[in-house]
Every structure is written in C-alpha cells, then in structure tokens.
Structure 1
Amino acid sequence: MADLPVEIASTPTTDEHELRASALEHRELSTDLELPPADGGRQAHLTLLACSILQVPVWGFSMSYGVFPEYYTNPKSSLQLSSSGSSTGAIGTTFNGIVYLSMPVLFGLLARRFTRFRLHTFLTGTFLAIASIVASAFANNVSTLMATQGVLQASGATMLYTASTIYIDEWFIQRKGFAYGITLATKSAVGVAAPLAFSAMLTHIGYRATLFTWAGIMAVTVLPAPFLLRRRIPLSTSSPTGERHYRRTSWSFLRHATFPIFMLANMIFSASYGIPQTYLASFAASTLHFNPSNSALTLVAANVPSIFASLWIGPLSDGEKSRIIGGRRMSIGAVSTLSALGAAIPIFLLWGMTPSTPYAAGVVLLVLFAMIWGFFAGGYSSTWGGVIKQISKEADEHNEVADTGLLFGLMNGARGIGYIAGGLLGVELMDVGSIGQSALAYSGPFGGLILFSGCGAAVGGLSVLIQARRR
C-alpha cells in the first residue's frame, strides 16, 4: 500500500487498447507514464488476494449478527443487559446503513483528491474496527452496544473496505467483473462460515471471550494487507511551483441513460433482496415449524450457492463466453437480467407456492427455493464490474471520463438505500399479511412480503431496456 515512485519512460509503453479501456486512468495521466500491466501479473493477483482476505474482518461480524440477539435475550446468557434485548436488532440495520451509505463518499475521495491518504484511512479503519469489538465486550446496555457494534464498528469496516477495494479498480480494467466476483464469492463464504463459528464460540467460550477471539482474528487477517497492496496509478505530479495538482472528479456520466437505469435497477433489486434474508428463517419456523437450528440452515442453503454464482456471473459480465449458455458472450444488460429473473421466478413459483401447513412438500419447496434464489440473487452484485465498464465505455464514446472508483461506491450506496427502504417496507408488508385465499404461502402472513420480493427482483432486470434502446 506504500506510495512507490514511478519512473517516467522516454517513450510511451502503455498499450493503446488499455488506454481506451480505462479512459479515467490514462487520459488524465500522461501517456508517457510507464504503468504496470493491468488484469494480470503478480501484483494484480496479490491485490486480489489481499482484498479477498479482508472480507473476513469487514463482513464477518455483520453477516453473523443474527446469532447475537438470540444470545442477548437468553436468560442463561452471561450478558445481562439493562434494557430489553429485543431492541438490539437495530444494531445490524445501523451497521449496514452506515457502511453502504458511506461508501460513495469514501470511494469518491480516495479515488481522486485524497489518494495519498489511503494507507492512513486503512490503518484508522483497522484500529476502529478492532477497538470497537473489544470495547463492546464490556457493554452492559443497548446504547453502548449500538455505539460500539453499530456505529464505530461500521465506520471502521467502511474505511477498511474502501481503502483496500479501491486498488481492484486500478489493477483490473477489462476483468473487473472477474475480480469483483472473486471478492464477492469470498464474502459469501464468510457469510456461510462466520455465523456457524460465532454460534459455536458463544456456546462454548461465552460472549466476552468470543469477541476477544474475533478481534484477534481480525488483526491476523488485516496484517498482510499493507504488504500486499500496491498503487498502480501514481500520485498526481507536482507543478513547477511545487503546488499539488489533483484530478478533478467528472460527473458527466450522470447525463446518460445508462447510469440512472442501472442505479434504479440495483436499488429496487436490493430492496427485494433483503426480504428473504430477513424473513426466510422466520417463515420456516412459523409456517413449517422448523426448530431454530433448522431455520438458520435455510439461510446457509441460500448463501452457499452464491459463492459459485459470483465465480460464474462475474466473468460473464466481463464478456467472457459462457459454456452453459451456448458458448456465447452476453451483454451486461442481458447478464443482469438473467440474474434478476433467475431470482424472481423461484420467489413466485417456489416460495409463494409453498404450502402454508408443515407438509414434507413444503420443506422440499422451501429448500429448493433457497438454493435457486441464493444462486441468482447472490450473483447480482457480481455484475457491477460489467456495469462500470459499460458506463465507462459510454463516457469514452462521448469523449468524457468516468471515475470507476466513484461508480463502484455509488453502486454500493444504491444498495444501501435499497436495503433500508426494503427493511422499512418489510415491516409494513407484514401488516398487509395474506394475498388471496388458498392453502399456499401467498395466503399466509408473509404473502405481501413474497409478492413484493418477487416483483422487486424482476425489476432488477430493468437494465435490459438499455440494450433495447440501443437497438
């Protein structure tokens, strides 16, 4: 992550195709700068390795938070809160809201004007994230838990994530989808393993020891990053008078239809995506009479397929040929629509058609739904690399530049807005209850949630309109 000196070559050595593929990097920087090759090579892979490992300290706690409220409310727990444990559920929502809504700001700042402060941001975020976990071990009320686990932990995780992930944007240009797919697959793997690990630790070593252990795991997984991450794009050069020149952020991409369509689709899809994640275990418990352990396994069944989905959909969004789909290349609009519809259809045909009584057929349908929905919905974020390339290409066609780091931050921001909106709507939709009269899940208390989740997922394929507009 050190700011290494960059030598000025006497003749241009950067490939012309790469220049056009990354207008931001090479149009504003002198083409006389000799840059390391992108999309491959030792340093690009080391960067991808570091960012993949960092998914553990960034997302491990937040993706496991569902096991903590149950522990807080357990009378046998060693933690005695002075307030009702039920109110701790807002801590997870606060964490996700801070992380996703802060990303557009941090990505924009670290990609352009304050690039020299990436290492400072990384180290500050690491300290905040670890210190907040340790401090929360001594909490004895909900307010302290909110401040440590909800606010400080989220702030540190955001700084840690943005200061590291921004390097993927520099080292991967043509293969952004592949790179983001790898990191998202790792994140999904963390989402499978971490809740099981936290549950086991809480049971065997207790609350405080669990948090101390997790703080140690965070420190170990963060440690290699400063040695693995290196800058590919040099810092802006100084003027003859010694004044610093900063690359200004261009917002020209806002004028084109591609950006708002993808952003709207992403936002609505994210609102629907949080519904099964939040309510699937409750549905299994209340409707099919699953015990708490089996209810949690429905989420595992949804998270495991998303690992493989990211590894497939990510490269597919880069334009690589798919052996599964006739060995053809697909446009990014088609790829995102495939993911969206693949998530929507099982919601309507499997979750919605699950019998509202605890029959064996209902169990089969629900598990099958979790696996298919988890595959396609979990792979949706892997299309972002292709989306960013499409927006950059459109900007290049208009002789403009698009800050790809900022774009990635904005995509995360849209997801955060969608999550929050979906969470608020979910509460209201639970009051709506059944849709129609039948023996299916539509007619149960989750009917409104199921209908909204399916429709929202389908709208996530709105980007296909871009291709129709072009044709």
Structure 2
Amino acid sequence: MHHSSVNAAEKVDPADKQQNDSNPSRYIATSNNDAESNSSSTLPPVDGGAQAWLFLAGCFVMEGLVFGLAFSFGVFQDYYSTHAPFAGSGGIAVIGTLTTGLMFLGAPIVLALCRLYPRWARWFSPMGLSGCFFSLLMTSFCDTVPQLIGVQGAIFGIAGCFAFCPCVVFTDQWFDKRRGLAFGIWASAAGVGGAGIPPILDALLGSVGFRSTLRIISAIFFVLGVPLAWFIKPRIPHDLAPKEKLFNFRSARSRFVLTHQLANVLQACGFYLPNIFLPTFVREQFGTSTFLSTLTIMLFNLSATVGLAGMGALADRFSSTTCVMISATGSALSVFLLWGLSTSLPVVYVYCIFYGLFAGCWPATWQATKREISQRGEERGYGFVDPVMTFGLLCVGRGLGSIIAGPLSEALLRGQPLAGEAFASYGSGYGVLIIFTGIAAVFSGSSFYLEKLKLL
C-alpha cells in the first residue's frame, strides 16, 4: 500500500522523474499533486470530509448487499437441498462458490478496466448492482440446478465483481493514512450483510418460497443499492487522473508473491466450506429449527465484520506476515478445538464466532501484503508495482480457492467418511471436511513460517 501526500502543493522537477518512476509512494504523490495543481477547483480533502465519508458509506452498502448475499448462500444451500424442484440434485454447493469465485477471479480484469478507462469506471458500481438485480430476478424463474449455477452463480458473480472493484480503486484516492482502516470498514459490511440477510431469507423462504423471495431481494438491490452507488466515485476527475502506465507484474514471479498467493488459495479452499455447510451440519446433528441453523451463518458473518475492521487497523501498523499469523493461528485452533470437538450446539456457535473473527479478517491482511509487494518490487529494481493491480492478483488466488471449494466439498462428504468411527464432530460424517478446513487454515500461514525459517 503506497502513501501519498495529496495536500502538498509542490510540483515535481523533471529531473526527478527517473527517481519517481522507481518509487511507488513518490509516484502516486506526484500524480495526485499534479492533478490538484491543474484542477480549476479545489479537490475534496483526503482522509476525511463529507464526500469521503459518503464514498465510504456507498462502498459499505454495496459490499453489504453483494457480498452479504453471497456469504448467505448457506441458507439457499439448505433450502435447495430439501425443497422441490432442486431437492436431491447434485452441484448445489457449486452455486455459492462460483459466485464468490468469479467476483475475485474477475477482479484483475475489472481493475485494469478501471485504470485504462477511468471515465467509465465511475459507472461500474451502478452497472454491477443493476446486473445483480437482473440476476436475482432471472434466478426466480429457474427450475434446474444448472440454471441456478449459470444465473445465480455466474451472472451474479460477474456483476458483483463490477460493483465492488471501483471501491478498491477509489479508496486509494479518498484515503491515505487511514487507507487500511477504510478498507477494513467497508469490507466488514460483507459480515454485516451476512449476519442480517440470512434471517430475512429464512423468513421469506419459509413464507413465500424461493421465487418470491428472490424477486423481493432483487427489488431491494435496485431500490437501495443502485442509488447509493452514486457516491462510489473518484476523488480525482478522470481527465486529471494519472495517464502513466501503472502495470508491472515482474514482481509476481517472486517467492514472496507466490507464497502469499498459495496461502490465498489454501485459505479460500477452507474458508468457504463452513459458511456453506454449517446450517445443514447443525440441523442434521442437533435437529435444530431453521432459525437456529441459520444462526450459524449470522454469527459467522457478524464476527467477520469485527475481524475485518480490526485487521484493517492492524495492517496499517504491522507486517503482512504478522497479520497472516494472527489469522491462521486463530482459524486453525478454532476449527480443531471447537468445531471438531463439539458435541453440543452452543459450542458450535462459539466456533462460528471465533472462526468468523480470525478467518473472516483475511482479506484485510492484503493491505499490508500489497504495500510490501510494492516496496519489494522497488527494492529489486522492478520499478513501480501498482498496489491496486497487486490486490487484483491476490483476488485471483482467493477466487481459485473459492471455485475449488465447491466440488471439493462434495467429494469430501461423499460416503460420509469417519461417520461413527471418530469422536465428537469428527465422527459426524463431516469429519474429513472439518480436518481439511483446519489444515487449510494452518497452511494459510505459510508466509509467516517461511519468514521465520529465513526462506522468504
């Protein structure tokens, strides 16, 4: 994450151009200063002011709707698995993991479009939220799981990617010293939405069915989301935005980047499994009501909200490996000691809180990671490494892990391995899935382990 001094009035001497080209923080400072110097009117203040907070509010609502609904898929998973016309069909888990996977996998492409066409980037969020609206509306007419995969999974995922990527790009313009905190705040809205949306879905699905539920949710997206997306806009006008080439992927081949990317994939492979299967798990193991089953997702996502905001603040102060270590350790311990050893519903709820807190905060560690990738790129003579595009590369790893998680989860549960052959929840039929989730959490800390071994 680079730092800029957007309120400075100095101009950059041409003689310093070569030095600035190799210095990420000075590069962005130069671009923003030039924009301000050439602007006929004063730009809004950075790190505060009404417009900055309205931008943050718009991002928060967008994130809460798009990712909040995606992270609530466990409610749909439980409903589709037990109600006509989808009951007994395979591939249902793929719908949710495909949605989140495409949101992340498409990020480098959409972020590149934001950089190359800043005039149009201003409208990507309203367009994306409109696409989400049409996706949900069309899903209400689906009759087969493949149709759900294509419409609720793929189309919603692509539209959601266009909705959230401008937030990543414009946050760097609106916030400097509070950038990590700002990212943590709007990213935490996914947890808020993931906690508030499940009981709404639960009530609607039980009373009006999935078709009317999806039409109601689509209307909420259109009425609430699209107008508020107006505030997701750049601080610097598109005609004053930096025109220099910001792409530099040479550092992507470094051991540091590859290690973080592998950790991203592994963390995502494990992270999405509990969110999908916990409602079904507690219903089968403890005979819970629909609401008590849904409560697992609510607790999971609500604690992730706290984790994201907290980790965002930590990422501004500590190294990426320290942040990763905190997330990996807390996640692994909660899986092995709480979920795996649980024999009662309250213990599962405690697990949901701790796992959501430590595993849910993972994306906020990227603020420290992309800052260090940019710094290392400069130190190794790669020139400027665009932190926004670095964010996009990290999204690819998370997207791959998410997509892998869908079919992988069905394979792990096929035949109910360890059922009746192990103690506590390890013998529930979900034992192999629990073990895999814990192992994935352990290996998500790879960068910390390698750094301590002086291999990174």
State the Cα deviation string for residues 428-467 of structure 1 (Å, max 9, x = none).
Answer: 3224722995433334422222222111101111221464
Q: TM-score, normalised by structure 1?
A: 0.81
Which of 388, 391, 395 lines up with 2:373 in the alignment? 391
> How far apart, in 2, do the equivalents of 1:430 and 1:205 lie?
31
> Is the contact between residue 180 and residue 367 of structure 2 (CA under 8 Å) also seen in structure 1?
yes
Q: Which residue of 1 aligns with 2:96?
A: 92
Q: Which residue of 2 aligns with 1:203?
A: 206
SS at match of 1:445: coil
Q: Which residue of 1 aligns with 2:435?
A: 451
Cα drift, residue 12 of structure 1 = 5.7
Q: Which residue of 2 aligns with 1:424?
A: 407
State the Cα deviation string for residues 310-364 of structure 1 (Å, max 9, x = none).
Answer: 2211101110xxxxxxxxxx42211210111011012112222224xxxxxx333
Residue type of the alignment partner of 1:117: W
> How far apart, in 2, do the equivalents of 1:237 and 1:354 lie?
54
Greater shift in the superposed pair: 263-272 or 93-102 = 93-102
> How far apart, in 2, do the equivalents of 1:315 and 1:378 lie?
15
State the Cα deviation string for residues 347-389 of structure 1 (Å, max 9, x = none).
Answer: 112222224xxxxxx3333222222122111112211111111
Q: CA, structure 1 residues 129+165, in 2 after alignment: closer, same or farther (shift >3 Å)?
A: same
Q: Which residue of 1 aligns with 2:218?
A: 215
Which of 320, 337, 357 lines up with 1:332 in the alignment? 320
Q: CA, structure 1 residues 96+67, in 2 after alignment: closer, same or farther (shift >3 Å)?
A: same
Q: Which residue of 1 aligns with 2:180?
A: 177
Cα drift, residue 247 of structure 1 = 1.9
> Is the contact between residue 91 and residue 407 of structure 2 (CA under 8 Å) also seen in structure 1?
no
Q: Does 1:148 align with 2:151?
A: yes
> Is the contact between residue 340 and residue 457 of structure 1 (CA under 8 Å) also seen in structure 2?
yes
Q: Does 1:365 align with 2:373?
A: no
> How far apart, in 1, do the equivalents of 2:66 and 2:380 lie?
37
Cα drift, residue 70 of structure 1 = 4.9
Cα drift, residue 190 of structure 1 = 0.1
> Is the contact between residue 258 and residue 466 of structure 1 (CA under 8 Å) also seen in structure 2?
no
Q: Which residue of 1 aligns with 2:70?
A: 62
Cα RMSD for the two superposed structures: 3.4
> Is the contact between residue 98 and residue 151 of structure 1 (CA under 8 Å) also seen in structure 2?
yes
> How far apart, in 1, do the equivalents of 2:326 and 2:411 lie?
29
> How far apart, in 1, do the equivalents of 2:335 and 2:146 lie?
37
Which of 300, 303, 308 lines up with 2:301 in the alignment? 303
Cα drift, residue 427 of structure 1 = 2.6
- Segments of structure 2 that go 5 or more residues without pairing to the other structure are 1-5, 14-18, 38-42
State the Cα deviation string for residues 7-44 of structure 1 (Å, max 9, x = none).
Answer: x978469xx99x966355246x4854427554344433
SS at match of 2:429: coil
> Is the contact between residue 301 and residue 371 of structure 1 (CA under 8 Å) also seen in structure 2?
yes
Pairing 1:73-152 to 2, within 5 Å after superposition: 81=85, 88-110=92-114, 112-152=115-155
> How far apart, in 2, do the equivalents of 1:285 and 1:211 lie?
24
Greater shift in the superposed pair: 87-96 or 303-312 = 87-96
Q: CA, structure 1 residues 255+86, in 2 after alignment: closer, same or farther (shift >3 Å)?
A: closer
> How far apart, in 2, do the equivalents of 1:452 and 1:394 lie?
33
> Is the contact between residue 85 and residue 142 of structure 1 (CA under 8 Å) also seen in structure 2?
yes
> How far apart, in 1, do the equivalents of 2:274 and 2:145 lie?
26
Which of 36, 41, 44 lines up with 1:34 in the alignment? 36
Cα drift, residue 52 of structure 1 = 0.7
Q: Does 1:407 align with 2:390?
A: yes
SS at match of 1:353: coil
Greater shift in the superposed pair: 226-235 or 212-221 = 226-235
> Is the contact between residue 270 and residue 418 of structure 1 (CA under 8 Å) also seen in structure 2?
yes
> How far apart, in 2, do the equivalents of 1:288 and 1:30 lie?
57
> Is the contact between residue 330 and residue 358 of structure 2 (CA under 8 Å) also seen in structure 1?
yes
Q: Does 1:441 align with 2:441?
A: no
> How far apart, in 2, do the equivalents of 1:405 and 1:470 lie?
26
> Is the contact between residue 24 and residue 402 of structure 1 (CA under 8 Å) also seen in structure 2?
no
Q: Which residue of 2 aligns with 1:267?
A: 265
Which of 20, 25, 28 lines up with 2:28 in the alignment? 25
> How far apart, in 2, do the equivalents of 1:393 and 1:212 lie?
47
Q: CA, structure 1 residues 119+144, in 2 after alignment: closer, same or farther (shift >3 Å)?
A: same
State the Cα deviation string for residues 64-97 of structure 1 (Å, max 9, x = none).
Answer: 333335545666xxxx749966655433233223
SS at match of 2:349: helix
Residue type of the alignment partner of 1:275: L
Cα drift, residue 192 of structure 1 = 0.6
Q: Which residue of 2 aligns with 1:341?
A: 329
Q: Which residue of 1 aligns with 2:40?
A: none
Cα drift, residue 63 of structure 1 = 2.7
Cα drift, residue 210 of structure 1 = 2.9
> How far apart, in 1, do the equivalents of 2:89 and 2:420 lie?
35
Residue type of the alignment partner of 1:185: S
Q: Which residue of 1 aligns with 2:190?
A: 187
Q: Which residue of 1 aligns with 2:52?
A: 44
Cα drift, residue 156 of structure 1 = 1.6
Q: CA, structure 1 residues 368+211, in 2 after alignment: closer, same or farther (shift >3 Å)?
A: closer
Q: CA, structure 1 residues 455+106, in 2 after alignment: closer, same or farther (shift >3 Å)?
A: same
> How far apart, in 1, do the equivalents of 2:86 and 2:439 lie?
42
> How far apart, in 2, do the equivalents of 1:384 and 1:429 lie?
29
Cα drift, residue 167 of structure 1 = 0.9
